[in-house]
């Protein structure tokens, strides 16, 4: 029995059988011969990931915890969709998101070790850019892309950031008293 299969704009239809390379249809419909071909749907939706790294040591040995937010998805190029299909077609969206999350967490952890606490606190965008750049290669190897990545929160259990704030506050008060 033959029939048309339809996918939405945030899905790719992967049709295998009958040729060496699977045929890919994004946001459309295709004719599928069930006996000769197999059609499977790959989600192209954006995943929102909360990237948490707890108690990671910075360049100067201070433990910090950093929360970031990443938006990732399967890239739209045909090659990227083929790569993602090979790796994720049999997986649920939650499993795909978890794999992407582990990749982002690992790269965030690695980048934290290259910066000081002051650099992290004063220039979150640099950390976000570094994580994006380093993680992009691994994500591309999975057929995915990072749509956006931002640092949401930086904290430290030892009170290092609070101590920096106290020191700066006392300097401002001293300068104001002198003035």
Mean pLDDT of 117-131: 90
Q: Which residue has the tokens 């192209």?
A: 44
Percent of the chain with pLDDT over 90: 66
Strands 3-6 and 63-74: unpaired
| pLDDT tens-digit readout, 144-177 | 999 999 999 988 887 776 666 656 555 555 666 6
pLDDT of residue 34: 81
Model confidence, pTM: 0.82
Mean pLDDT of 104-128: 91
Question: How far, in Å, are 21, 99, 166 from residue 96 at the CA level?
Answer: 23, 5, 44
pLDDT of residue 1: 41
Cα–Cα distance for residue pair 7/80, rounded to 1 Å:
18
Cα–Cα distance for residue pair 87/24, rounded to 1 Å:
15
Q: Tell me 27's DSSP state.
A: S
| pLDDT tens-digit readout, 75-92 | 999 999 999 999 999 899
Strand runs labelled E in the chain: 3-6, 11-16, 23-26, 29-32, 38-43, 47-57, 63-74, 144-155
């Amino acid at each position: 029995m033959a029939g048309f299969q339809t996918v939405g704009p945030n899905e790719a239809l992967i049709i295998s059988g009958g040729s060496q390379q699977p045929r890919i249809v994004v946001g459309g419909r295709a004719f599928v011969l069930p006996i000769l071909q197999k059609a499977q749907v790959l989600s192209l939706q954006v995943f929102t990931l909360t990237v948490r790294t707890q108690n990671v040591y910075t360049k100067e040995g201070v433990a910090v915890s950093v929360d970031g937010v990443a938006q990732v998805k399967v890239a739209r190029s045909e090659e990227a969709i083929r790569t993602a299909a090979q790796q994720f077609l049999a997986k649920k969206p939650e499993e795909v998101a978890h794999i992407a999350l582990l990749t982002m967490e690992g790269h965030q952890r690695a980048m934290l070790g290259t910066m000081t606490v002051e650099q992290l606190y004063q220039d979150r965008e640099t950390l976000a850019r570094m994580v994006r750049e380093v993680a992009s290669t691994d994500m591309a190897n999975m057929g995915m892309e990072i749509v956006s990545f931002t640092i949401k929160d930086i904290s430290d259990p030892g009170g290092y950031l609070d101590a920096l704030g106290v020191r700066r506050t006392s300097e401002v008060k001293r300068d104001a008293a002198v003035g």
